[in-house]
Amino acid sequence: MQRGFKDLIVWQKGYKLSLLVYQVTKEFPKPETYGLRAQIRSCAISVPANISEGYERDSKKQYLYFLNIAKGSLGELETHLLLSKDLKYITEKQWEKIECLRREVIRLLRELITFLRKKI
């Protein structure tokens, strides 16, 4: 059986992070529909989307490029989530749950990037 990006733990965790972010941001104030909520959701879905896009590319160099975009999106997501917590759009408990998963995904991404760089 051929393996694909959905077999990657980092993709699975990134996808789970996206689902969690979508659930938590449902309750954001209406004025944030096209503001902070949209930004957070965009960052979150960018992670598994870029992992899968890079995986399907023809070279490790391109794969690394997309993995680094995913890593950047995780950094951006952290800032937006901190702002959401400080604005009281999300609770401390929600933030901790998302942040724990976000840190796990970034750790896995760093490990994958390091592994792939050694193979170039």
How many other β-carbons are positioned within 10 Å of the β-carbon of residue 100?
A: 9
Query: What pLDDT digit, counting tens, does each position of 46-77 carry?
Result: 999 999 999 999 899 999 999 999 999 999 99
pTM, whole model, 2 decimals? 0.93
Architecture of domain 5-119: Up-down Bundle (1.20)
H or E element, residue 64: helix 60-86
Give the three-state DSSP class for 55.
Answer: helix
Query: What pLDDT digit, counting tens, does each position of 7-40 carry?
Result: 999 999 999 999 999 999 999 999 999 999 999 9
Can you give the residue ranges of every domain in the chain? 5-119
